[in-house]
Chain A
Amino acid sequence: MAKALTGDGSAPARPAPLAVALKDAVVSGVITWLLLLPLVGFRATESGSGPLTLTTRFGLVTVFAVVVAVLRLVMHLTVWRPGREKRVAATPSALAGLGARISPLAKPAFFTLALLYPLLAVVLSGGLTPSRYWIDLGIYIGSYVMLGWGLNIVVGLAGLLDLGYVAFYAVGAYAFALLSTSVPINDFMAGHLGEGFWAAWSFWVCLPVCGLLAALWGVILGFPVLRLRGDYLAIVTLAFGEIIRLVLINWTDFTNGGAGIASIPPISFFGMPFSAGDDGFAAHFGLTFDPMHRIIFLYFVILALAALTALVTLRLRRMPVGRAWEALREDEIACRSLGINTTLTKLTAFATGAMFGGFAGAFFAVRVRFVSPESFTFIESAMILAIVVLGGMGSQIGVAAAAVLMIGGMEMLRNLSFLKSDWLLGPDFDPTLYRMLIFGFAMVAVMVWRPRGLVSGRLATIFLKERKTVSGDLVKEGHG
């Protein structure tokens, strides 16, 4: 074919691909340098009340130009290479084969790692006290895994786009904060069950209450939005999230307004406080007192709560109500034509999702021991929703992986201190401020390469003889 083309002399000889690529790289590098020179290279800084001073950042401009040049060079030599044939694999690639062999192990491995994580953290960081950072990070990630799984019920399974999930998180947190610091309840409990009972047991008593209250609010939100779907539902839930936050700020008598509620009692080991005293956890188990015990216990509490969320979701998916959620996501009219009560189905989805949000909220309050409306802004809802979408809607392991990547990844951004060197971005540069930008890049990248989320295939919820994976490859994008 190529011979025939060049043979008759009609096609000019092509220059070598490397030369083309190099030329393009240099040209685009120079263009980038010139473009960014006024945008990035000069900077007017205000020095106190004095005049503006002009600083230059030519080093940074050069770095950007080189990055663009190298990227274009690489792209030209690989993906954009002329005459490159797109590989169409007749058989699944070796990587896919490996993936298929690993995937049954992924869940147990993930769970074992989660279980051993505190031990690893302590061993690798060399002691209880230095491991605090890592275990705190684990708790933080665990909270988002749980929130992701909770929202997954509403968004991933029932297909109801909820942009105000943080409202239920706030309800849970405030319910626990208000109940555990309430003086009348404390007095009542002290009178009947002994001094110190409420401080020791409040979390364990309030946890179910917080879940139920959040579920109740889920139903309260659910009622007015029953007739809405898609964009309209998203807007109303968004408003609901904001309303809850504004009420928390403005109802000062009840919630203490923007100042928040402090001195929430810490978590106890089922009644045993994590204190240095004789009745404390450490003394009871013959350990030396260490404040890290409480942190490690918190890690296991959030792990248990997240596992509860996952297990309940798995079971519900196999029960009629769970299948009705999935059917509702697919087609509401078809659901009704089969005699499914769509009103009830939607409300149970909202209530169940909200309940887990409430649990997570109570956990948040007992971990931080301080709640204020600032913790429950829209960005939290967006983050949780992003975790669900990135993970692949409806996929539990995908959501967990997305939470680890997003939350862990953002935390890792704090460690990029080399970017602060003088010739690069300067000491004022704070990599964490760019997390939303990176967040956006991650979303775009996932939607380009894995439009159905990180984990798109799923096991059939119910099966006849053998369980088969239902592939996500042939369905609409964004519909994992």
Chain B
Amino acid sequence: MTALLSVKGVKTYYGNIVALKGVDVEVNEGEIVTLIGANGAGKSTLMMTICGAPRAREGSISFAGRDITGLPTHEIMRLKIAQSPEGRRIFGRMSVYENLQMGAAVAGNTHFQDDLERMFDLFPRLKERLHQRGGTLSGGEQQMLAIARALMTRPRLLLLDEPSLGLAPLVVKQIFDAIRDLNRSEGLTVFLVEQNAYHALRLAHRAYVLVNGLVTMSGTGKELLERPEVKAAYLEGGH
């Protein structure tokens, strides 16, 4: 079986500064794969490189057997890849409904009502907030909206960049539960970048550890949770 998303030997630079020094990551269909690492390890850079901004200077990225390394961002995002970007980046002055509609903008409105109902089942809070401006939602609701907006594109692969950022533990649990549900019931493939290593590793089927732009460890989520190096670096001090 070939992987749905495969990243091979990717090197990314910001000007002359190297951010990724040859990263290999594979995500198979139906998996939840997580990438953990400290601040500045290059987690978000990898996520953004998959989306084509910044572009990989070396190496290749392919999705569903197609090379996407050189494609412009908006074309990559039309290939059934959706992203909930870091910091959520919802449209603050547009209502929740309009935000969701923007998610469906490229796909057209054919499945809009069905998808809307699905999102309400997944995140009932969004239904209550439907006509509020996105910017007036709480952090957790905004994160739900960002994920729902990404799902409105009906993706095969969902990229999540730090969905737990700045959220209360209970809300983090809600969001992670929703991701697990989506994966179980619909077989959605998820690639998750997280700092909250404990929750991410428990959620994920497989995981990678990124240190200074290089993958240093990989394995199943459970295996990594047990590894002393992981414990020392990412799990000490509570979860």
Q: Which residues of A are interface residues toward B (Cβ below 8 A)?
A: 320, 323-324, 326-327, 329-331, 333-342, 460-464, 468, 470-471, 474-476, 479
A475–B105 touching, CB < 8 Å? no
B23 within 8 A of A: no
Chain A residue at smallest Cβ distance from B116: A464
Whether the pair B73, A336 counts as a contact (CB closer than 8 A) is yes
A340 to B82, CA, bound (A): 12
Known A-B contacts A330-B93, A334-B90; A339 and B131 likewise in contact (beta carbons under 8 Å) = no
Q: In the complex, A331 Cα to B136 Cα: how many Å?
A: 16
Interface centre among B74, B83, B135, B149 (most CB of A within 10 A): B74
Using Cβ atoms and an 8 Å threshold, which residues of chain A touch B105? 320, 323-324, 327, 338-340
Tell me the number of A-to-B contacts counted with CB atoms below 8 Å: 100
Asked whether B53 is an interface residue with its Cβ less than 8 Å from the other chain, the reply is yes
Q: Which of B77, B78, B82, B98 contacts A460 (CB 8 A)?
A: B98
Decide: A338 near B98, CB < 8 A? Known: A327-B91, A330-B91, A474-B135: no
Task: Point out the residue from B102, B131, B133, B135 that lies within 8 Å of A327, measured CB to CB.
Answer: B102
Q: Enumerate chain A residues within 8 angstroms of B135, measured Cβ to Cβ.
A: 474-476
Chain A nearest CB from B152 CB (Å) reads 8
A394 to chain B, nearest CB (A): 8
Segment 69-128 of B: residues with Cβ below 8 Å from A: 72-75, 77-78, 82-85, 89-95, 97-98, 101-103, 105-106
In the assembled complex, B153 has its CB within 8 A of some CB on chain A: yes
Q: Which residue of A lies closest to B104 (CB)?
A: A338
Residues in A whose Cβ lies below 8 Å from that of B78: 339
Residues of B within 8 A of A470 (CB): 93, 95, 131, 133
Interface size class of B (residues with CB under 8 A): 20 to 34
**Smallest distance from the beta carbon of A469 to chain B beta carbons, Å?**
9
Are A339 and B97 in contact, with the CB atoms below 8 A? no
Q: Which residue of A336, A338, A342, A460 is within 8 Å of B95 (Cβ)? A: A460
Known: A326-B91, A474-B135, A475-B135. A336 touches B77 (CB 8 A): yes
B 131-156 binary contact with A (CB < 8 Å = 1; else 0): 10101100000000000011001000
Knowing A331-B91, A342-B74 are in contact, say whether A462-B131 is a contact too (CB < 8 A): no
User: Would you call A337 and B91 a contact (CB within 8 A)?
Assistant: no
- 16 residue pairs from A and B, CB less than 8 Å apart: A326-B94, A334-B90, A334-B91, A337-B89, A337-B150, A338-B82, A338-B103, A339-B74, A340-B74, A340-B106, A460-B97, A461-B98, A463-B131, A474-B135, A475-B92, A479-B92
